[in-house]
Amino acid sequence: MNAKYGWQELYQSAVLELRIEDLPQRIAAAENAIEQRITELRSDDTGAAEERLALDDALRMLRFLAVTECKAPNTTAAGTIPEQAAS
């Protein structure tokens, strides 16, 4: 997987992390970079539709990874992401 956008390097590090004890920090760093890029794109309406889709997909994957691998404390008893965290 080649990094086309700056945030993808942190995303790749999180997805490829093998040490479970380092995974929460990797996920947090990637989520922060993605959220920052989403904010940048909101102020610059140049039509980066491809990147917007990639950002959405990456956030979904990171949240899935957090729930399944980290047993993130912000999950419900059923193991799903609460509504406010998912949006």
What is the 8-class DSSP label of residue 74?
Answer: T
Higher pLDDT, 48 or 10: 10
**Other CB atoms within 10 Å distance of the CB of residue 58:** 23
> How far is 68 from 60, CA to CA, in rounded Å?
12
pLDDT at 74: 52
Residue with tokens 């920052």: 36
Average pLDDT over residues 9-34: 96
Predicted TM-score of the model (pTM): 0.73
Q: Where is average pLDDT lowest: 9-13, 26-30, 34-38, 73-77?
A: 73-77
3-state SS assignment for residue 39: helix
Model confidence at 80: pLDDT above 70: no
Show contacts of 3-9: CB within 8 Å, 24+ apart. 5/37, 5/51, 5/54, 6/33, 6/37, 7/33, 7/34, 7/36, 7/37, 7/55, 7/58, 8/54, 8/58
